[in-house]
Amino acid sequence: MPVPSSSAERTLSTTLASNLIDYHRLIDNVADQLAELGWEYPNLFAVRMALEESISNAIRHGNNEDPAKRVHVECRLSPVRFWSKIVDEGAGFNPSAVPDCCAPERLEVPGGRGLALIKAYMTSVEYNECGNCLTMEKRLDVRREAIGDADGEG
């Protein structure tokens, strides 16, 4: 389970309304700060995609865009690590029950690609037991195949 660790990391913590507009400022802020920390374009794209999909999923599917509900986002940023926890106020879901959007017979189904993108762009992705809390992490110091990882051997 990825957990917050270094005291040298920058932290952001915010509570978002359940609309599909306001959270873009948070994503811009995270990307700007990571750029200041030396992150380059492919990895910034990866973080943007993971935040876009995870927060919009929390608003759209978790909270059903209920204005009475909020999404809580915590981020920790360092030159080599992006970590985030996204918590919605919905009933949760079972991520393993989400159909594989990449299966040939489902290619023409318009929805359900957000989770596949989050998993592809992050080093690790975990949901809590009830499925309303997503923790994800991208490490640039780990040699692996995470998409966009400029430090990978390619």
Partner 1 sequence: MPSPQRLDVNESGSITVIRFRDQKIIDPVAIQELGQELFDLVEKEDRRKIILNFGNVEFLSSAALGKLITFEKKVKRIGAELILTNISPEIFQVFSITNLDKLFKIKDTEADALAVL
Using CB under 8 A as the binding rule, whether residue 133 contacts partner 1 is answered as no
Q: Which stretch binds partner 1 (CB under 8 A): 8-16, 42-50, 77-85, 135-143?
A: 42-50
Using CB under 8 A as the binding rule, whether residue 56 contacts partner 1 is answered as yes
CA distance 135 to 54: 10
What is the separation, in whole angstroms, between the first and last Cα of the chain?
26
CB 27 within 8 A of CB 49: no
Nearer to partner 1, 46 or 87 (CB): 46
Give CA separation, 150 vs 19, 31, 49, 146, in Å. Answer: 33, 16, 16, 9
Using CB under 8 A as the binding rule, whether residue 62 contacts partner 1 is answered as no
Site residues, partner 1 (CB under 8 A): 20-21, 24, 41-42, 45, 48-49, 52-53, 56, 101-102, 104, 107-114, 116-117, 120, 147-148
